[in-house]
Amino acid sequence: MSNHDLTNNQQNSNEDWQDKLTPEQYHVCRCGGTEPAFSGKYYDHHEQGEYLCACCGVPLFSSEHKYDSGSGWPSYYQAINESTIRELRDSSHGMIRTEIRCSQCDSHLGHVFPDGPAPTGLRYCVNSASLDFKAAD
């Protein structure tokens, strides 16, 4: 069974997720952790295709919307479909940010900031550990 077989977070226990995810993926996706800057496998990744939720497989971001923000994490100026991303207020670490989660399985992805490029002005700053990649055909 792949990680993508665990699509409904409401029916999966922490043990289910721990069995299917790497320790780093579990820390980021299920516990809201963050991988170190400039360390993720998709930070400097330039292949054409789609970035999927590592937990449930829903397409989240396209390589067409990826850009180098200099932040150390994969960055996108828009999601493939806004309905796949859920936003939450995050007041941890002494600042106010907007956390982003997969709307299908509630996996923590990263944060979105209002300092991205045109046309949206947004920077979806995403942990590589929360993503899988599907190359374009």
Whole-number Å distance between alpha carbons of 132 and 125: 15
In whole angstroms, what is the distance from residue 78 CA to residue 13 CA?
31
Catalytic residue among 29, 102, 105, 125: 125
Q: What CA dihedral angle connects 35, 112, 14 and 130, to 10 degrees?
A: -50
Distances (CA, A) of 8 to 24, 61, 105, 136: 20, 20, 5, 26
How many CB atoms lie under 10 A from the CB of residue 55? 29
125: annotated active-site residue: yes
Q: Which residues are catalytic?
A: 125
